[in-house]
Amino acid sequence: MDIQVGIIMGSKSDLPIMAEAAQALEELGVGYELTVVSAHRTPERMVEYATSARERGIKVIIAGAGGAAHLPGMVASMTSLPVIGVPIKSSNSIDGWDSVLSILQMPGGIPVATVALNGAKNAGILAASIIGAFDAQVGKNLDQFKEGLKKKVIESAEELEAKGWKRFLSE
């Protein structure tokens, strides 16, 4: 499977969150690479990663960061590839809001698609959706995934209606 998505994070402590993006991509049949790239501690590595991504076959970059969360925006400033930012509630974070706002409030011309705090799973699904717009198999995988979500909701509704809410909650 060709690597089409790059998943990067500012620190290895972000891996428990960012692994959810990798899992989503695996389930949807999209090849990815995953590594640590710090905007503040390894700026040269960040520049190299961002500027070489397209020639290495990357089509979408998912960048997760906590605290000041500069990684997604800085990477987006150096590539024309779509960048999806994952704000991470980290130990040096102000309840995650600093990360959310750092990624969300980008200046005009440097867009970063931003998912919810710790929303790496959705970042993986969004990356697959971008790939799936041009790759029929990935698009089909996404359609099946969405049908599975629909089926789970319908099953839950039927179970709730059959048991009643009190019994449903007690189980």
Q: Which residues are annotated as a binding site for substrate?
A: 11, 14, 41
**Which residue ranges make up the annotated binding site?**
11, 14, 41
Whole-angstrom CA distances from 133 to 31, 111, 124 are 15, 19, 14
CA 68 to centroid of chain Cα atoms: 18
- DSSP reduced 3-state for 109: coil
Tokens of 149: 């979500």
Reading the block at residue 160, the tokens are 């709730």
Of 70, 71, 85, nearest to 115 (Cα)?
85
Tell me the C-alpha distance between 118 and 51, whole Å: 26
Q: What are the residues whose beta carbons fall under 8 Å from the beta carbon of 69, sequence distance 6 or more?
A: 10, 85, 87, 88, 98, 99, 102, 103
